[in-house]
Amino acid sequence: MSGYRIGADIGGTFTDIVLLDEDGNVISKKISSSVENYALAIVEGLESVFAGHGVAPGEVAEIMHGTTVASNAILERAGARVGLVTSKGFRDVLELRNLRMPRLYDLTWEKPPPLVERYLRMVVDERVNAAGEVVRPLARDDARRAVRRLLDEGVEAIAICLVNSYANPVHERLIAEVAEELAPGLPCCTSFDVLPEIKEYERTSTTVVNTYVLPIVERYLRTLREALDSRGMAVPLLIMQSNGGLTPAAEAAVKPVNIVESGPAAGVVGARAIARQSGLENVISFDMGGTTAKASLIERGEYTRTREYSVGGGIMAGSRLLTGAGYLLNVPAIDLAEVGAGGGSIIRIDSGGSMQVGPRSAGARPGPVCYGLGGEAPTVTDANVVLGYLNPSFLCGGELRIDAAASARAIEAAVAEPLGFAPEHAAWGARQVAIANMIRAIRAVSSERGRDPREYALFAFGGNGALFAAGMAAELGMKTVVVPPAAGLFSAFGLLYAEIEHHYSRTVRRVLRDADPAAIDAVYRALEAQAVSQLAADGFDAAHRGHERTAMLHYQRQIYELEVPAPAGRIDRAALDTLAESFGREHERTYGHRAGAGEPVELVTAQVLGRGLSERPRVPERLSLAGRETGTGARRAYYGPALGWVDTPVVPRETLARGGGGEGPCIVEEYDSTCLVPPGVRARVDARGNLVLSL
Amino acid sequence: MSLHADPIDFELFKNALFAAADEMAVTVCRTTYSGVLRDNMDFSTSITDARGEVIAQGLTLPMHLGSVRTALAAVLAHYDDDMREGDVYALNDPFEGGMHLPDVFMFKPVFVNGERVAFACCTAHQADVGGRVPGSNAADSTEIYQEGLRIPPMKLLDGGARNETLWRLIERNVRIPVQVFGDLRAQLAACEIAEREIRVQIARYGLEPARAMMREMLDYTEHMTKAALSKLPDGEYDFEDWIDDDGVDFGKPIRLFVTVRKSGDRIAFDWAGSAPQVKGAINATLSVTQATSFTAIRSILPPDIPNNDGTFRAVEVTAPRGSIANMELPGACAARGLTGFRMLDCAFGALAKMAPDKVCAASDGGNVGISVGGYHADRSPFIYVDFTCGTWGGRPFADGLEGNSNLLANMAAQSVEVSEIENPVEILANELVADACGAGRFRGGAPFYRDYRMSEEEAIVQVRSDRQTHRPYGLFGGRPGAPGAVVLNPREEARPLTSKVTMTCRRGDVVRWVLPGGGGWGDPLEREPERVLRDVRNELVSPAAAERDYGVVIDTERRAVDEAATVRLRARRRAARGGGTIPFVTRDDA
């Protein structure tokens, strides 16, 4: 593959574009997102970058894309008019959800309205039992009646989810067949195809979300494809999935449920790649933007995935206890913990006299007070201006003016004066509270799972990540911080590192010691066959296809599962024993205890990940970034009551690349982000251009 | 209020302890062997100071708030002076600190330099603690001695070593020891997590400053609670309601009565006037009554008040000894949750007089519990326990929720498919019921029902429910919700059963329970016709009920409101009422 590889990441306010050539030269650009037509925004953005750097469309090799089109369709309730066919007696599974609410003591709570209203949910008379046996056959006429009624209601897509269908999809298939007969070409998704796993609510919800966004995603990807083709870029278009792998646009259009968390995944993929290059096995990624901060764990060079998350539920307070907000999805996604803390988080004093930061955010509009766009409440960014960490006159290379005096006035009035503090001390305190809030996200992915954050390096990116990284690391006892080049654009960058991945899973509930190994072997082989056929369709030959097996297991009667690698090759008795032992070890590592050897371990889900392997590394180790202006000079910055105000040089990244780096305090001010190196912290730049802080 | 501690240190310290309490809860959820803990979240975690006042409670079961200090006081009464590092204490006896036998309280004292500084606490509902009925939660036991193993405050671990006497006694007295031991391990692991974090925090701030901040966390909550209470109107507000019966003396209603006295920054819930304790197993300990009263008031206060015992400095809860709200020996109490839920409805009724714009009409009256237990052909035991609630009364600003847990217990439903694969039952239906929500300007939530078919030769089935004869009340003109029901073999004999029942079922028998519907809020004639149309379209309200209950005429052909006919019908209805005032509460059809 020769030519430019392009990463394009659409965010709420900005679309970030990164071009990489084979020699490691990088061109990057932030453009404003056009909300009316994202597809057009990308193509026009690309053309403006091409024009500025003398690149021809024919020089593009492939395009990797992270998109919020699916999640926006859900957040804005702008998906398709979907009809749902389900089993008699279970019409309301989608609406009853799992009954839980995300807040305690809240009489004003409203449930998110179901994506399919009750009158569009039809039942059919049938029954498959838990063993997969047909107890009550489905009459074709009954299926026809249900589908016809939905068509009469003018549905644009049909979702099908029957009770116990994970064990036998025969009735779902029959309904899909009838739908195709009555309405050829109408999008129709069966739960068995979307998620052949136990738990009726989770499966129904996932299937409905897939169906709900499918027509929108399909249309969007088709428009983008046509626009690219018509402008001379008939090259592969790959979409970032929530699970961290890429998938061809055509496949994403069939299973859009996999790209709902497309946006945040790319940064973690990039973090993993750079961590591997740098020889860092264990890393916690930390992505802090304007409203939220997200953390994720990378262990032995692999990120962790979750199988259950909600979209559109707002930001959880770092606690994973209270579920029930938003729309549940049970597909693999990079496991991110998110808290409502970012540059725009508002600082206030509550009625008990304690300082609160966030989760309310001033957002992009009105934004922090210092932006002068009408914001009146002081924010975390204002605190960073008062502390001298951020440039007091402008940001983004001059594109954004900063009014430092306005920040100081707001902090004084809302925080410092009521507490009787000096403004810098109040700002310092707000920063410490924001750090404490964000630590909850890091703990959720580390200590809550038995991992000690001190054994990990902190990999920081996003608009505000580098500003807080050293402070976070100090609080957590972490020794190393890594800030990649173009940290503020890193999500687009991360796309370049991703590879094609397809995930397949199946419920196979068997107690290992009583299980027939051949039956489990057959399931893994069937899942691998699915992976092989998809990868072959993507154009990977046998030498460039890889699979990994994993298993979700628990002690019999436990309800929550842990994921462990499953043995490759033929599954025999010994392989099952190995699996049981790995599970016991993982349980001990995660929760600090394991059951006795006699306690039966149960397999719940078999999973296979198929990977398309590249000839050579997707991104050269050495990159050169063009046209990156950095700030210079010096200013006073405040480092807490013990150190007070200290003169702090503003240095370009390159300075720290020479002679073994330098000692904090110093500030590295770049186009898309600012990195703070506090006193006592050493900073250097490694061979790949990463800023490495040692605490 | 101004804090004595540095406001920044204080916020950090407070967050760290609450995060630790939540982290304990995550551990329990993820390692438990029982659906009752993970899905029904019938457990709680907390951290107390050295004297046993809760300073941070995890986001867990509201019904447990307030119970920890009572339980810990019982432990301290025995062991205060000779606790040492590595000890763990446990109890479940409702007559000495507990709530009902399935709830096992566990306490781990935390020491720093040989000095006790805090306790890590975890309370969890065990799936079975022995007794006459599998699941240990029968409503028709008549004395505590039938309900299972009673554990007074005892050492579970002694200086880090297991107290084998207690462990072996537990093993011999519960039906599935592997499950109980698995959950006890989860509780122990949770306590260790808290211990570790408390030590980290004390190392960071120093012992004395940490202690001062612990005290201040209680002061802070007290202050926040009092500030919010001051904004509510002073006065005395009472309310009464009835539980159908106790499952032993069938047909004999049980009175609940509460007087709420609000004065300045304090509020008191006085349950004098409630019935004497009953034979059936629905008697509440005072700690249940406290938790319930607190949940009621807490639900109308601002959301940012921390969960700890500081609140109780502003909220007083009393109940006469020997009453259903404060039982004495030998009262049976396994199903005391039912009374807790009903006391919440009752307390809300009183609060609705004080804050009419904040409080909902009656909800479903709490969860329906079903346990199915027995033995497989090979004599191995099975126990399936499922608690479900999900219907709220109409609110002054919105319809009651449907398919949403009760405020007193943020329980999740267990998956039908998982229940079927693990237990000898098939669940044939789990669906909303039409024409069962109380009509109102804001209607009550629609209830749902479940059908369970037994697939083992024989099983003891126990159902605990209520509100068959005393329906969820409506407020300010809203109508009451439909009564609940329990039915045996609904498709064949359709035999109605009492709300509390224990029976032996055979393979193929189907047991159905139907939740009661939520009560309505406000005059149904004022409900927007479009909302009624939507309910009709969604088949939650029939066209006939739309006319009868709301005076809304639906043109079913056009699927639209017949505006003119509706205006005429509503005018006629209003005229027929005469000039009477809108009643505050409606408990039954006129």
Residues in chain A closer than 8 A to B407 (CB atoms): 104-107
Chain B nearest C-alpha distance from A364 (Å)? 26
Instruction: Kindly report the average pLDDT of chain B as a whole number.
Output: 93
Does the domain spanning A77-214 belong to CATH 3.40.50? Answer: yes
> Of B176, B208, B223, at which residue does a domain stop?
B223
| Residues 7-36 of chain B whose Cβ lies under 8 A from any Cβ of chain A | 7-8, 10-12, 14-16, 19, 22-23, 25-27, 29-35
Q: How far is A328 from chain B, CA to nearest CA, in Å? A: 14
Chain B residue closest in CA terms to A604: B418
Residue-wise pLDDT for A63-118, tens only, equals 999 998 898 889 888 999 999 999 999 999 999 998 888 888 889 999 999 999 99
- Confidence at residue A665, expressed as pLDDT on a 0 to 100 scale: 96
Of the partner residues B19, B304, B413, the one whose CB lies closest to the CB of residue A96: B413
| pLDDT band at residue A629 using 50, 70 and 90 as cut-offs | low
Task: Please indicate whether, in this complex, the C-beta atoms of B7 and A429 are within 8 angstroms of each other.
Answer: yes
CATH of domain A4-74+218-262: 3.30.420.40
Q: Residue A101 and residue B418: Cβ atoms within 8 Å?
A: no
Angstrom distances, CA of residue A615 to CA of A239, A374, A545? 20, 52, 11
Crossing angle between the packed helical segments A423-445 and B7-31, to the nearest 10 degrees = 10
Q: How far apart are CA A114 and CA A505, in angstroms?
A: 26
State yes or no: ipTM above 0.85.
Answer: yes
| Residue A297: how many other CB atoms lie within 10 Å | 24
Q: Do B430 and A90 touch (CB under 8 A)?
A: yes
Q: Beta B315-318 vs B266-270: how paired, if at all?
A: parallel
Q: Which of A559, A585, A561, A543 is nearest to A505 (CA)?
A: A561
Classify burial at B380, counting beta carbons within 10 Å of its beta carbon; exposed 0-12, middle 13-18, buried 19 or more. Answer: exposed
| CB-CB under 8 Å, A201 with B2 | no
Cis ω before A359 (30° cut-off from 0):
yes
In chain A, the residue whose alpha carbon lies closest to the alpha carbon of B10 is A354
Secondary structure letter of residue A317 according to DSSP: -
Average pLDDT of the segment spanning A548-553: 95
Same fold? A77-214, A264-339+436-495: no
Q: Of 3.40.50.2300, 3.30.420.40, 3.50.50.60, 3.30.830.10, which CATH number belongs to A264-339+436-495? A: 3.30.420.40
Nearest CA in chain A to B216: A352
Domain housing B99? 7-223
User: Cβ contact (<8 Å) for B8 and A557?
Assistant: no
Longest Cα–Cα distance in chain B? 81
B189: nearest CB among A106, A436, A593: A593
- A593 contacts on B by Cβ (under 8 Å): 31, 185, 188-189
Calpha distance A632→A653 (Å, rounded):
10
B418/A198 touch (CB, cutoff 8 Å), yes or no? yes
Nearest CA of chain A to the CA of B59: how many Å?
Answer: 7
Burial tier of A133 (Cβ tally within 10 Å: 0-12, 13-18, 19+): exposed
> Which pLDDT belongs to residue A317?
40
Verify whether the Cβ–Cβ distance B388 to A99 is below 8 Å: yes
B282 burial class (0-12, 13-18, 19+ CB within 10 angstroms)? buried
Minimal Cβ distance to B395: which of A91, A107, A419: A107
Bridge partner residues of B460 (DSSP): B373, B504
B248 pLDDT above the threshold of 70: yes
For residue B11, list chain A residues with Cβ-Cβ distance below 8 A.
354-356, 433, 436
At residue A318, the pLDDT reads: 40
Interface subset of B 121-160, CB within 8 angstroms of A: none
More confident residue, A320 or B576: B576
Contact A101 B405 (CB under 8 A): yes
Tell me the pLDDT band of A127, cut-offs 50, 70 and 90: very high
Of A100, A320, A350, the CB nearest to B412: A100
Residues of A in contact with B450 (CB under 8 A): none
Res. A319 pLDDT band, cuts 50 70 90: very low
Residues linked to residue B514 through DSSP beta bridges, in sequence order: B449, B485
Cβ separation A447–B23 shorter than 8 A? yes
Point out the residue among B27, B412, B430 whose CB comes nearest to the CB of A93: B430
Q: Which two three-digit tokens encode residue A131?
A: 């063993």
CB contact under 8 A, A557 and B34: yes
Q: How far apart are CA A295 and CA A444, in angstroms?
A: 8
B542/A contact by beta carbon, under 8 A: no
pLDDT at A636: 96
Q: How far is A379 from chain B (nearest CA, A)?
A: 16
pLDDT tens figures, B358-410: 999 999 998 899 989 999 999 988 888 888 988 999 999 999 999 999 988 88
Mean pLDDT of B147-174: 97
At B584, list the tokens: 């505050």
Q: Residue B338: which pLDDT band, with cuts at 50, 70 and 90?
A: very high
pLDDT at residue A347, rounded to an integer = 96
Q: Is A486 left (phi over 0), alpha (psi -120 to 50) or beta?
A: left
Question: B415 CB near a chain A CB, below 8 Å?
Answer: yes
Q: What is the pLDDT of residue A315?
A: 53
- What's the rounded Cα separation, in Å, for the pair A270 and A483? 12
Q: Look at A198 and B428 and tell me if their CB atoms are within 8 Å.
A: no
Model pLDDT, residue A628: 62
For A404-422, the pLDDT digits (tens) are: 999 999 999 999 999 999 9
**Beta strands per DSSP E along A474-616:** 480-483, 501-511, 545-555, 562-565, 601-612
Is the Cβ pair A92, B403 closer than 8 Å? Answer: yes
Q: pLDDT tens digit string along B208-229? A: 999 999 999 999 999 999 999 9
- Could you tell me how many helices (H) and strands (E) chain B has, helices first? 12, 24
Q: Searching chain B, which residue's CA lies closest to the CA of residue A102?
A: B410
Please list, in sequence order, all residues whose beta carbon lies within 8 angstroms of the beta carbon of residue A672, skipping any fewer than 6 positions away: A30, A396, A463, A486, A487, A488, A489
pLDDT value of residue A274: 92
The Cα–Cα gap between B325 and B320 comes to: 7
Task: Give chain B positions within 8 Å (CB) of A92.
Answer: 403, 430-432, 448
How many contacts (CB atoms, under 8 Å) link A and B? 221
Report pLDDT digits (tens) over A365-394: 788 999 998 999 999 999 999 999 999 988
Q: How far is CA B240 from CA B126, B247, B342, in A?
A: 33, 20, 10
Which of B179, B203, B223 is at the close of a domain?
Answer: B223
Sorted by sequence, the CB contacts under 8 Å of residue B464 that are 6+ apart come out as B137, B138, B139, B247, B335, B338, B368, B369, B370, B499, B500
Question: Which residue in B has a C-alpha nearest to residue A558's C-alpha?
Answer: B33
Domain ranges of chain A: 4-74+218-262, 77-214, 264-339+436-495, 501-612
Question: Domain total for chain B?
Answer: 2
CB contact under 8 Å between A96 and B398, yes or no, is no
Contacts of B122 (CB under 8 A, 6+ apart): B24, B28, B43, B44, B45, B46, B105, B106, B187, B190, B191
pLDDT digits (tens, 9 = 90+) for B416-461: 999 999 899 999 999 999 999 999 999 999 999 999 999 999 999 9
**For A225-250, what is each residue's pLDDT tens digit?**
999 999 999 999 999 999 999 999 99
What's the pLDDT band for A626 if we cut at 50, 70, 90?
low
Separation in Å, CA of B248 to nearest CA in chain A: 31
Q: Give Cα B484 distance to the centre of its chain.
A: 18
Give, for A393, the enclosing helix (H) or strand (E): none
Mean pLDDT of chain A: 90
Burial of A310 (0-12, 13-18, 19+ CB in 10 A): middle
Domain end position, chosen among B193, B223, B253: B223
Distance CA B341, CA B366 (A): 5
Per DSSP, the residues of B467-489 read: -SSSPPPEETTPPPPPPPEEEES
Contacts of A596 (CB under 8 A, 6+ apart): none
Selected for mutation to probe chain A from B1, B8, B197 (highest A CB count within 10 Å) is B8
State mean pLDDT over A146-159: 98
Q: Kindly state the DSSP code that residue B321 receives in the 8-state scheme.
A: T
Q: For residue A690, give the DSSP letter.
A: -
The minimum CA-CA distance between A558 and chain B, rounded to whole Å, is 4
Enumerate the residues of chain B whose CB falls inside 8 A of the CB of residue A107. Answer: 299-300, 358-360, 395, 407
pLDDT higher than 90, residue B517: yes
Give the chain A residue whose CA is nearest to the CA of B424.
A130
Please report the pLDDT score of residue A28 as a whole number: 85
Contacts of A590 in chain B (CB under 8 A): 30
Of A25 and A218, the one with more pLDDT: A218
Task: Pick the residue from chain A with its C-alpha nearest to B7.
Answer: A354
